[in-house]
């Protein structure tokens, strides 16, 4: 999507602003969207390649990320707490995005030798509608970015 003034967005485009992030999307052939974390200024698209239609809907209280989740969005929807396990079998350069849809807070846990890194040692989503990106930057090291909590 080329640089467009918000006033010039077509009726088919969407603009969603809340206290945590801005989502600007316009249906295009490549299905790209822009997602910016307002707290950090981080362009979340650089952390995870988000594409519409690539959602993996999870409704249970546990889920282990699969290699096939690379580049996808995982939605977590449950009234109870949810644990998403990041296995040490994921390759470097793996990335995905997790959205907490339900009331249950998502906790990220590494399995085996997988270490989760965050500047404030956060390992959870902050609240419902939080968006968190995961990026495996090296063997057994995953970085979290987005709307997180301790």
Tens-place pLDDT, residues 57-86: 999 999 999 999 998 999 999 999 999 999
pTM of the model: 0.68
**pLDDT for 43-65, tens place per residue?**
555 444 444 456 899 999 999 99
- Phi, psi dihedral angles at 43 (to 5 degrees): -75, 105
d(CA 102, CA 72): 18
Question: Would you say 129 and 21 are in contact if contact means Cβ atoms under 8 Å apart?
Answer: no
């Amino acid at each position: 999507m080329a640089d467009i003034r918000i006033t010039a967005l077509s009726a088919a485009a969407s603009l969603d602003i809340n206290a945590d992030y801005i989502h600007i999307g316009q249906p295009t052939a490549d299905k790209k969207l822009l997602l910016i974390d307002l707290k950090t200024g981080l362009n979340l698209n650089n952390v995870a390649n988000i594409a519409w239609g690539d959602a993996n809907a999870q409704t249970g209280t546990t889920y282990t990320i699969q290699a096939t989740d690379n580049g996808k969005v995982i939605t977590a929807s449950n009234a109870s707490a949810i644990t998403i396990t990041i296995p040490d079998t994921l390759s470097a350069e793996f990335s995905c995005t997790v959205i907490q849809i339900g009331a249950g807070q998502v906790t990220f846990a590494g399995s085996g030798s997988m270490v989760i890194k965050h500047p404030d040692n956060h390992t959870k989503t902050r609240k419902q509608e939080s968006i968190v990106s995961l990026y495996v930057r090296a063997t057994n090291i995953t970085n979290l970015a987005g709307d997180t909590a301790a």
